[in-house]
A and B are shown apart, each in its own frame.
Chain A
Amino acid sequence: MQVSLSAVKGRTKMELDPRTKLFAMIVVSMIMITGDIRGIGFYIGIGIALIPFVLLLISGNLSKAIIYGILITFSSFMEIMVMNVSGIANIIFLFLSGMISRFLPGVFMGYYLVSSTTVGEFITAMKKMRISDKIVIPFTVMFRFIPTIVDENKSIGMAMKMRGIGIGGNRKNLIELVEYRLIPVIMATVRVGNELSAAALTKGLETNQKRTSICKIGFHFSDLIVFGYVMAGAVLFAFNQMNGF
């Protein structure tokens, strides 16, 4: 599973500027987390929740788009059903659907952002926003690294299961559980990190010259559409929050 900022360009049909993606992500997670699901707010929520679905679909990530679509449809139906149920069932339904509809769009938007952007594009876009190297480099390393951590964690989990360390294993002490899982992961990650710094040195990242890039970053017509849609959603949302229609 490729979750990191990829090094090579996949077969994307529509190119979006990383800045547009970033803007869309902020708006989507903000509206979904603080949003209201009653009345007009419900429809705005649906409209905004559609953004990650469409973007994932267009970028050729069919399986993720379908998973997301099913989950979000499920939670929307739950939210409609909730109106007719009362008591303890109401709380459970509300909570489940609330969790899904509030956090999932942001998560999948983030997934889309990192899976459809190459490292080069990301750095160039950040540079165009005049962000200092001191922020850009750690950010890039971080996005590149989170999948590595997940990967290492998976392998170490398997190795530890073989030794009977884990939930259901013969060592049930919680502190030991944390210790024997966490420390190998940290060690492995630090080691990979050292190699990364060596690689960065050989690539000449340390010279204080202006970076050049072969990535062409710029706003296109597709950016305008996405930007317009997201902006419309944000304005409607702000309007709704203020006067409640």
Chain B
Amino acid sequence: MSKNVNVSEKKLLEVKDLINVGIFSALYFVLYALTSCIGFIPVFMILVPVVCPIITGIPLMLYMAKIKKFGMLTITGIIVGVIMFVMGHPWLVIFTGTVCGFTADIVLKFGEYKSKKMSVISYGIFSMWSMGAIISLFFGFKEKYLESYRAGYGDTYVDTLYKVTPDWLFWVLVVGAFVGGIIGGMLGIAVLKKHFKKAGIV
């Protein structure tokens, strides 16, 4: 028993924590994938990074209430990034997933894993990983990506995409993802208060 106490004092990740990471990553990913189906409506594709964090805020805030150690959000970020990559997004998504997860972890540690304000901000930062998945619509990647779509989706669709994705929009979306995260985080905290506290899950 004394050995266990030592381990948790050292703040190392135990198997129990790793299982929690798995569960909440699964919840997060399934919800994210379901919500991002709005992207199938052509132009709504660019709205995915803003809308999804609002819904996924609910499981993520519960997750953050359970986090007491450093590194769990980083692992979630890596996992989400790797799965997005395997499903055919550019490799940059692994990078943004790792970086956003790590930064979110630092912010969370800053609030000593208790501060609600910090966990909302942390979630806002975490939500920005999705920019790595959508970056192929902007900057140098744009031409090649959209030209490969021209054959698949037709001229009208691609021309519309060209029109609605100027480069400055990327930075707007970065901010949008952050704001979406903040809204989702606050929603999550409200839900947490209303439902999970009573049930004794938190």
Chain A positions within 8 Å of B, measured between CB atoms, are 22, 25-26, 29-30, 32-38, 41, 90-91, 94-95, 98-99, 102, 106, 110, 133-135, 137-142, 144-146, 149-150, 178-179, 182-183, 186-187, 189-190, 193, 196-197, 200-201, 205-206
Chain A positions within 8 Å of B25 at CB level: 138, 142
Contacting pair B19 A200 (CB below 8 A): yes
Provide the bound-state CA to CA distance between A38 and B20, in Å.
46
Instruction: Known contacts A32-B88, A186-B62, A206-B15; decide if A141 and B23 are in contact (CB<8 Å).
Output: yes
* Closest Cβ–Cβ distance, residue A156 to chain B (whole Å): 14
With beta carbons under 8 angstroms apart, the residue of A37, A138, A178, A193 that contacts B151 is A37
Whether B78 sits at the interface, judged by CB under 8 Å, is: yes
Provide the bound-state CA to CA distance between A206 and B12, in Å.
12
Contacting pair A133 B88 (CB below 8 A): no
Chain A residue with the shortest CB-CB distance to B145: A34
Provide the bound-state CA to CA distance between A203 and B42, in Å.
48
With beta carbons under 8 angstroms apart, the residue of B20, B58, B76, B153 that contacts A98 is B153
Instruction: Known contacts A99-B40, A179-B191, A201-B15; decide if A140 and B87 are in contact (CB<8 Å).
Output: no
Chain A residue with the shortest CB-CB distance to B154: A94
Contacting pair B79 A139 (CB below 8 A): yes
* Closest Cβ–Cβ distance, residue B161 to chain A (whole Å): 13
Whether B112 sits at the interface, judged by CB under 8 Å, is: no
| Dominant secondary structure at the A interface | helix
Contacting pair A149 B26 (CB below 8 A): yes
Provide the bound-state CA to CA distance between A145 and B156, in Å.
41
B18-60: CB near A (< 8 Å → 1, else 0) gives 1111110111011100000000101000000000000100110
Pick from B14, B31, B152 the residue with the most CB of A within 10 Å: B152
* Closest Cβ–Cβ distance, residue A89 to chain B (whole Å): 11
With beta carbons under 8 angstroms apart, the residue of B59, B76, B86, B196 that contacts A26 is B86
Could you list some 7 contacts between A and B, CB below 8 A? Answer: A94-B154, A139-B22, A139-B79, A145-B26, A150-B30, A189-B23, A206-B15
Contacting pair A205 B154 (CB below 8 A): no
Chain B positions within 8 Å of A37 at CB level: 151-152
Chain A positions within 8 Å of B154 at CB level: 90-91, 94-95
